[in-house]
């Protein structure tokens, strides 16, 4: 009978995040095809919103050229916690922050909010490793990237 016991009180349960936890916001809209048969946005679609929010920021900041840029980001890790449903047709506000900037990698943390709601419907992260478009080998982040990413970091 000597197996480990799990004490729910000792395990930290993920919590919805407040808007102040994010450095930048962008808005996207749910699409007809995002809803599943249960009437809410399907879980896999949240990752698409994460990717859209981050890449839109990088494109708008002038550091990511998706067609001809020599440096591209590949996702190596993702995670999401769900707190409240999102559904079509409603705007989704994506908050972004950068938790870590490495030599060639970045950890982005994203909160998805139903428009006007104070707490995230979902919160998660993904990690990009930046690589050379041709060789797919990791490269040091260009200085312009680092500057754009630094703007997404919050004070400790």
Domain residue ranges of the chain, discontinuous segments joined by +: 25-150
Task: Identify the band that residue 155 occupies on the pLDDT scale cut at 50, 70 and 90.
Answer: confident
Average pLDDT score over the chain: 93
Q: Indicate if the pLDDT at residue 21 is higher than 90.
A: yes
Distance, in Å, from the CA atom of 125 to the CA atom of 13, rounded to the nearest integer, reads 16
User: What size, in residues, is the chain?
Assistant: 156
25-150 CATH pick, 3.40.50.1370, 3.10.129.10, 3.30.70.120, 3.90.1150.50: 3.10.129.10
Task: Identify the band that residue 67 occupies on the pLDDT scale cut at 50, 70 and 90.
Answer: very high
Q: At what angle do helices 43-60 and 143-150 cross, to 10 degrees?
A: 120
Kindly calculate the radius of gyration of the chain based on its CA atoms and give it in whole angstroms: 17
Q: Residue 146: what are its φ and ψ, rounded to 5°?
A: -60, -45
CB atoms within 10 A of CB 87: 16
CA angle (49, 50, 55) in 5-degree steps: 100
Task: Identify the band that residue 48 occupies on the pLDDT scale cut at 50, 70 and 90.
Answer: very high
Q: What is the pLDDT of residue 1?
A: 47
Place of tokens 């890790």: 77
Q: For residue range 70-117, what is the model confidence (pLDDT) as tens digits?
A: 999 999 999 999 999 999 999 999 999 999 999 999 999 999 999 999
Mean pLDDT lowest among 9-18, 62-71, 110-119, 147-156: 9-18
Q: Indicate if the pLDDT at residue 6 is higher than 90.
A: no
Mark residue 62 as left, alpha or beta (left: phi above 0; alpha: psi -120 to 50; beta: remaining). left
Give the three-state DSSP class for 78: strand
Peptide bond into 101 cis (omega under 30): no
Q: Indicate if the pLDDT at residue 22 is higher than 80.
A: yes
Q: What is the pLDDT of residue 7?
A: 52
């Amino acid at each position: 009978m000597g197996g480990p016991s799990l004490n729910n009180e000792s395990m930290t349960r993920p919590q919805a995040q407040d808007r102040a936890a994010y450095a930048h916001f962008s808005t996207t809209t749910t699409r007809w095809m995002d809803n599943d048969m249960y009437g809410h946005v399907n879980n896999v679609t949240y990752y698409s919103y994460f990717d859209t929010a981050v890449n839109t920021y990088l494109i708008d900041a002038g550091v990511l050229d998706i067609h001809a840029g020599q440096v591209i980001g590949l996702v190596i890790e993702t995670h999401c916690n769900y707190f409240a449903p999102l559904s079509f047709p409603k705007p989704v506000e994506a908050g972004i922050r950068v938790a870590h900037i490495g030599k060639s990698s970045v950890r982005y943390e994203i909160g998805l909010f139903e428009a006007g709601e104070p707490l995230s419907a979902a919160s998660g992260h993904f990690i990009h490793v930046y690589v050379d478009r041709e060789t797919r080998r990791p490269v040091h982040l260009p200085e312009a990237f680092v500057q754009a990413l630094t703007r997404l970091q919050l004070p400790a």
